[in-house]
Amino acid sequence: MVYPREHLAEEQIKKFYLDLRKAAKKYLYIRLPPRNKLYFWDYSGNDTTEVRRNYSKFKGNVKGVICILSSDDDPLYFEFKRIFQDVPCQMATKDLVLRKYNLPSVKMHLYFNSVLNLVCGLLGKMGVRPWLLDEKLKGDLYIGVDTRPGKVATFTLVNNIGDYIDETRRSIRGSKVEEDTMRDVVVQLIMDNLKALPRGRSIHITVHRDGDVYTSEEQGLESAIRLLRQRNLEASITLISVRETTPYRIFKYDGNLAPCPPGVFIKLNERMGLLASVGWPLIKQGLARPLLIEVIRNDEPGYTLQEVVKEVYCLSFLHWEGVVKKLKMPITIKYADEYAVFAEKGIDIVGPPL
C-alpha cells in the first residue's frame, strides 16, 4: 500500500485495507493477505525516492500494489505505473479512503461500492475474473485493434467466454496498421497463446477494429492466415468495424421522444447495423449514440450480422473494474484503447488495463 503522508495516516490505510479484504472475501470469495503480510510505504509531495528504494529492496516479495494518489489528476499516476509496471498496480485517491469518514450513514453504500470496484480492478489484473460469459461466443478468439494516429497501435486478445488473454503494441506512422505489422501481430498473438486454441479443427478469429478498416489491415489478416497455414494452423477471419461516433439516434416515438434501452439492434443492410449498447436507464438524459457495426469480411457463412452485433453487446459487459459499470464498446476495443494510454508512454503494464 502506497499513500501520501500529508493526507493520510498509516492507521487509516490499514483500516481501508480491511474494507478491501472484507469485500474480496464477501463478494469474490478471495482471501487477501492479512495486514501483517503487507508493506505500507508513504511518500511526500512528488518525491517517490523512498517508494522506489523500498520497492527495489523488497521487489521479490511484492505481488500487487495499491497506490493512493492525492487527486484524480495527480501527476504521479504515470510515474507509479512506470515504477510498478512489473506487478499488478491499482490506483485510488485519498478521497476514496476519506469518504468513509465524510459520508452520512445513509450514503455509505457509495463508499463500499467504490471499494468493491477497486478490489475487482486489482484482482482482475492479478488474474481473477469476477465474471465471464455464461455461454460461449461463436468464434474462438477475438482480437481488438485500436490506433493512436502517428503514435501506436494496440492489440488485445480475448477468448470466447470473454477472458482477457494477452496484449501487444506497435509503433505506427499514420492512422492505419501496415500489412506486415498486422500480419506479424496476429501471428504472434496466436502462436504465443496456442493453449487457448481448440485442437483438431480450423480456428475462427474475429477482429474488432475501432473505426475505419484500411486495405492494408485486411491484407495483413490474409497474410496472417497464409503464414498460420504454413505452421499447420487453419484459420478463418471475420473482420468487423465498430464506429463509436455516428450520426444516428435510436428512439421510440409515442407522442414524445423516448430513449431506447440497451441492447436494441437495427439492421441497415446485410453487412451493417446499429447497436444501442447503452441507453435508458443507464443514461438518464438525452439519446445515446448507437454503435455502427459493419462486417468487412466474413469467412464463416453461418456467422450472421445479428450474431456479430450480439457478441459485441455481450463483450461490452466485461469491464471488471466496475461492478455497476456498463461499457459502450466491447472489451476487445475498450481494453486496447486503455492500453494505448500506457503504450504511448512506453509503459508495459501487467494484466488488463483496469
pLDDT digits (tens, 9 = 90+) for 160-176: 999 999 999 999 999 99
Q: Which strands form 203-210's sheet, in the order they lie side by side? A: 164-171, 152-159, 141-148, 203-210, 235-243, 291-298, 272-276, 264-267
pLDDT digits (tens, 9 = 90+) for 6-54: 999 999 999 999 999 999 999 999 999 999 999 999 999 999 999 999 9
User: What pLDDT sits at residue 353?
Assistant: 85
Rounded to two decimals, the pTM is 0.90
**CATH tag, 2-125:** 3.40.50.2300
The yes-or-no verdict on residue 251 having pLDDT over 90 is no
pLDDT digits (tens, 9 = 90+) for 181-192: 999 999 999 999
Q: Start-end ranges of CATH 3.40.50.2300 in the chain? A: 2-125
| 3.40.640.10, 3.20.190.10, 3.40.50.720, 3.30.420.10: CATH of 141-343 | 3.30.420.10
Q: Start-end ranges of CATH 3.30.420.10 in the chain? A: 141-343
Which regions of the chain does DSSP assign to beta strands (E)? 2-4, 41-43, 65-69, 89-93, 141-148, 152-159, 164-171, 203-210, 235-243, 251-253, 257-259, 264-267, 272-276, 291-298
